[in-house]
Chain A
Amino acid sequence: MSATSHLLKVVIQTVMAAPMTNDQSWFYALALGVSFLKCLLINAYHSTDFEVHRNWLALTHSLPVSQWYYEATSEWTLDYPPLFAWFEYGLSHIACFFDKEMLVVPNLNYASPATVLFQRLSVIVADVVFFYAVKECCKCLREDKGKDLLGKPSFILTVLLLWNFGLLIVDHIHFQYNGFLFGVLLLSIARHCQNRHFEGAFLFSVLLNLKHIYLYIAPAYGIYLLRCFCFTQSNADGSLQWRSFSVVRLVILGTIVLSTFAVSFGPFIALGQLPQVLSRLFPFKRGLCHAYWAPNIWALYNIADKAFSILGVKFRLLDINKLPKASMTGGLVQEFQHSVLPSVSPLATLVCTLLSILPALFKIWHRPNGARGFLRCLVICALGSFMFGWHVHEKAIMMAILPLSLLAVDSRKDAGIFLMLSVTSHYSLFPLLFTTQELPIKIFLMLLFTIFSLASLKTLFRKGGALLNPLEVTYLLGLIPLELICEFVYPLTVWQKTFPFLPLMLTSVYCALGVTYAFIRLYISLLTCSDTTKKTKMQ
């Protein structure tokens, strides 16, 4: 039955206290519970992203389409693809009922209580897409009758996704619409698991037109669909059967993708604005790293460069006057120049990214492993792009974590990698909420998610030893003193004034180690997984 009639049934049965025939009530309880928590966070700190979206509401509402990608009254110009602009346009029509003033473009930084309420509620309501997607993903898991509720993989997955720490603090405090977008992504993945590939492809093209950062994982989709869908059969040993190529399927897929792009970009191509739109979408003049370094390879590269330059000066190998002035820790988004190691250009990062994901793509081309192999490759593409990409935001790590949750409840190795990656990257999101008021919230929520994921996955995979080896546990425990130093001890020292960005740097570098480690382990797991896993639960 459809979701709405099911929900209505839940409500009626709740009122009359009649027992539910299929006990899905826990899902709605979890969804409702997290929604209430989100409502309580309405008055929390919100970042400049709040103003970004208010500005987009205003400009899509007040200006004609031809002006959308040219408007520059506010510094936060439209830099998402057209479908998202249409989404904002739709929202703006509801916004009128809350506060018309927010739709006036010159009202920069307008944040009346009604505006805050509307924008926060829009994120909370848009999360319904995410709820639906999670429900569909749970259907892809193996049925596990007879286990008590807290030990069911579908229950654990639901909590890991619905109550994900990253989504809660980025969407509902910092302010973004990731829940909605990841809902579309997870729905697309679910459709592929359910062998409804056309729908999956359609959803992914829609997603690309909502936020182009998902290009990171487009190669995984492309190779997977080509290999597993366009070639309808494989040989007995899993290798490619060239004869089974289906032109029809390729054409239909192509049509779906192209028509989605046509609907989205069509008006702008017709207006001859495509170069302008693309320049807004891909602003390459920003630096190698964001003001707060994402915990990727470049953070380690930067710190190595710094270390070499300091050591070099100390041991008189380098002349301090000849070194370029280091501006990376300045905190502003500027061009970077490395002192000792070669500087990195956007092209270099692109090459590194491609090199990092090529083995994974080759693996699923050569010996695909069904939906599970696709998912693993997707996570690696996301993580590879995160590790080597140009001007990556730390929030991008969620593109790896959320799909990895699906793998985590299925296999114990993935559960271990998931724990490492999720705890590290969730901690790396801490600097996003730098206000004192939000400090307890981020600590409580982080503990909530970490304790739940550790305890539930440990219970799920209790046979076969510990999920994390002692080294990993030590590393994760090291986050506690790191947090105490960065957030409590360091601000009281004299260095706070002279080196204010040291805690951020420490956090980036420490987390980068964990993320790199998880990346390597995932790769090893992909490259060594054999085809005997044909009896996968997600087939």
Chain B
Amino acid sequence: MENWSLFSLCVLLGLTSRWAVSFHSYSGAGKPPMFGDYEAQRHWQEVTYNLPVHEWYFNTTNNDLNYWGLDYPPLTAYHSLVCAYVAKLLNPEWVELHASRGYESHSHKLFMRATVLFTDILIYIPAVLLYCFYFCDGSSKQKVATALCILLYPGLILIDYGHFQYNSVSLGLALWGILGLGLGWDLFGSLAFTLALNYKQMELYHSLPFFCYLLGKCIKQGLIGRGFFQLAKISLTVLVTFALCWMPFLSDPKQPLQVLHRLFPFGRGLFEDKVANTWCSLNVLIKIKTLLIHLPTTLSPFPLSLYVSSPQNISQPVCLVINEIPLIAIWFLLTSTFSMLPLLVKDGLLLPYVVTSLAFLFLSLYLLSALERSTEEELRLGLYRKLTRHWLPKLNLSRIIKWKFWFSLVAMAALSFTSVWLEPPAKFPDLFPVLVSILSFLHFLGFIIYFNLVQLMEPQRKKSQKKTN
């Protein structure tokens, strides 16, 4: 079968599962007074459409920042504005100032879901396809299989099409950035990544490797001459992009300060949700470490997977390496989906969670032959082997990893089951979410150690590969 047909089938499967998940509930459905992320996005359409730009991030009588005030950078606000124009055409009640608070209807839900699908088709999915086409090894069938597995990653589908968010925009733009860098189009890559950054400030987590890679590349080309020019061009691109995005806010010095205040609310507590904040402390450690290790060297796309934090941002880069170390990547991605279980259950997304996780597990294990491609060499266990060589030379590391994999899946399944079916004891009402957090955290700790060790071994492994080839 021809390539284009295989890729189209892959895209259609991805789109079908996305839209089918969208049939289910969204965050805060039917839960006044605050509702949830879905209402937040609707509210931003209302605010951006009805109020002038200089009021968007300020607390005024018309804009109560306590009720889902804007806390993403300007590009999100512009996106909401565009959606609001469309909403106004379809049904003005959806964005009526004040009166549309808590508006819920079937047609409105369809509209909101459609906006997610539209941006997904426009930005994220083409990026994934191009990435698999240009940067994945293997036959075209393997590339399509990789693309399918990435598109079926449950975490993104459940959050974007279930809970309701637009992560596909920022992750898609970041992926375009990676594509740009990988293809040697540095300016395009910087532009795309800057846009991603201006869409969601969480992309800062990915900004360090981008910066280090580009800086390193320019240094390699010589700081006097070509390298300097390149650096200048990239800096200019980034600055101009920032300026264009923030232009409406640059007239008054108070404006950008207020926006930044909204984006980085240091006044809020550390543990806003029981899930995501195990990352904050780890994040700091990782950032320092990467600065020390990687400033002098050029980066390949591969190590980008290391510099991560929240479940969404961590999963995206790991998706990209799913074809290189399938078993670990699949394990990781399932864990990241599992870590969001309390949130998904709260949103009424248990059924899609179960179905998409199981589907992803079986299909990716099958399509990428993850269990067959799990020798020590393929699992990059070189350093582990070195460490255990003295005490336990006969250890079958590959088998251990596989058993751990299955055991961890059973544990996650069991905890999922008990979270839903059993009542927590009265003394510990948050028992199950906390257990989920702890289990996920332990897994992620293991993964971070693993990825770091792999990263350390990478140059040596490439050298030995070159020798054998």
Contacts from A to B (Cβ < 8 Å)? 14-17, 19, 25, 29, 32-33, 36-37, 39-44, 150-151, 436-437, 440-441, 444-445, 447-448, 451-452, 454-456, 459
Contacts and interface: CB of A to CB of B under 8 A. Distances in A.
Interface string B9-50: 100110111011101100000000000000000000000000
Nearest to A444: B16
24 contacts: A14-B365, A15-B406, A16-B371, A17-B371, A17-B402, A32-B363, A33-B359, A33-B363, A36-B358, A36-B359, A37-B17, A39-B355, A40-B355, A44-B23, A437-B110, A444-B15, A444-B16, A444-B19, A447-B8, A448-B13, A451-B9, A452-B5, A459-B1, A459-B2
A451 B12 contact: yes
A464 B307 CA distance: 55
B16 A445 contact: yes
Contact of A40 (B9, B141, B356, B371): B356
B141 to A, nearest CB: 7
A459 B365 CA distance: 27
B117 interface: yes
B351 interface: yes
Nearest to A150: B1
B266 interface: no
A440 B111 CA distance: 12
A475 B281 CA distance: 62
Contacts of A42: 351
Interface residues of B, number: 36
A444 B110 contact: no
A395 B1 CA distance: 30
B372 interface: yes
B271 interface: no
B402 A40 contact: no
B366 interface: yes
A17 B362 contact: no
A440 B366 CA distance: 28
A40 B21 contact: yes
A37 B9 CA distance: 14
B352 interface: yes
Contacts of A454: 5
A444 B117 CA distance: 13
Nearest to B373: A17
Contacts of A37: 16-17, 20
Contacts of B17: 37, 40
A14 B406 CA distance: 11
Among A17, A19, A150, A448: residue with most chain B CB under 10 A: A17
Contacts of B24: 43
The main secondary structure of chain B at its interface with chain A is: helix
A325 B275 CA distance: 68
A437 B111 CA distance: 10
B372 to A, nearest CB: 5
B107 to A, nearest CB: 8
Interface in B138-177: 141
Interface of B: 1-2, 5, 8-9, 12-13, 15-17, 19-21, 23-24, 106-107, 110, 117, 141, 351-352, 355-356, 358-359, 362-363, 365-367, 371-372, 374, 402, 406
A145 to B, nearest CB: 19
B22 to A, nearest CB: 8
Contact of B374 (A17, A43, A150): A17
Counting chain B CB atoms within 10 Å of each CB, the highest count among A36, A151, A436 belongs to A36
Contact of A29 (B356, B366, B372, B402): B366
Contacts of B19: 440-441, 444
B358 A448 contact: no
Contact of B23 (A17, A437, A447, A452): A437
B464 to A, nearest CB: 25
A293 B101 CA distance: 44
A459 B351 CA distance: 38
Nearest to B111: A436
B9 A452 contact: yes
A437 B402 CA distance: 42
B454 to A, nearest CB: 21
Contacts of A40: 17, 20-21, 352, 355-356
Nearest to B358: A36
A151 B402 CA distance: 33
Given A43-B23, A452-B9, 16 more contacts: A14-B366, A16-B371, A17-B374, A17-B402, A32-B362, A33-B359, A36-B362, A39-B351, A40-B352, A43-B24, A44-B23, A150-B141, A451-B12, A452-B5, A455-B5, A459-B2
Contacts of A452: 5, 9
Nearest to B402: A17
Q: Which of B16, B107, B406 has the most CB of A within 10 A?
A: B16
A66 B15 CA distance: 49
Given A36-B359, A445-B16, A448-B12, A17 B2 contact: no
B402 A444 contact: no
A41 B359 CA distance: 14
Contacts of B356: 36, 40
A424 to B, nearest CB: 20
A435 to B, nearest CB: 9
The 8 closest A-B pairs by CB, nearest first: A17-B371, A455-B5, A36-B359, A40-B20, A448-B12, A39-B355, A43-B23, A444-B16
B5 A440 contact: no
A40 B16 CA distance: 9
B2 A29 contact: no
A164 to B, nearest CB: 15
A451 B366 contact: no
Contacts of A151: 1
Given A437-B23, A444-B15, A451 B355 contact: no
A33 B356 CA distance: 10
A37 B20 CA distance: 8
A455 B19 CA distance: 25
A434 to B, nearest CB: 14
Contacts of A25: 366
A448 B406 CA distance: 33
A455 B16 contact: no
B94 to A, nearest CB: 15
Given A33-B363, A455-B5, A19 B372 contact: yes
A468 to B, nearest CB: 15
Contacts of A36: 355-356, 358-359, 362-363
Contact of A444 (B12, B23, B141): B12
Given A17-B372, A448-B9, A456 B20 contact: no
Nearest to B2: A455
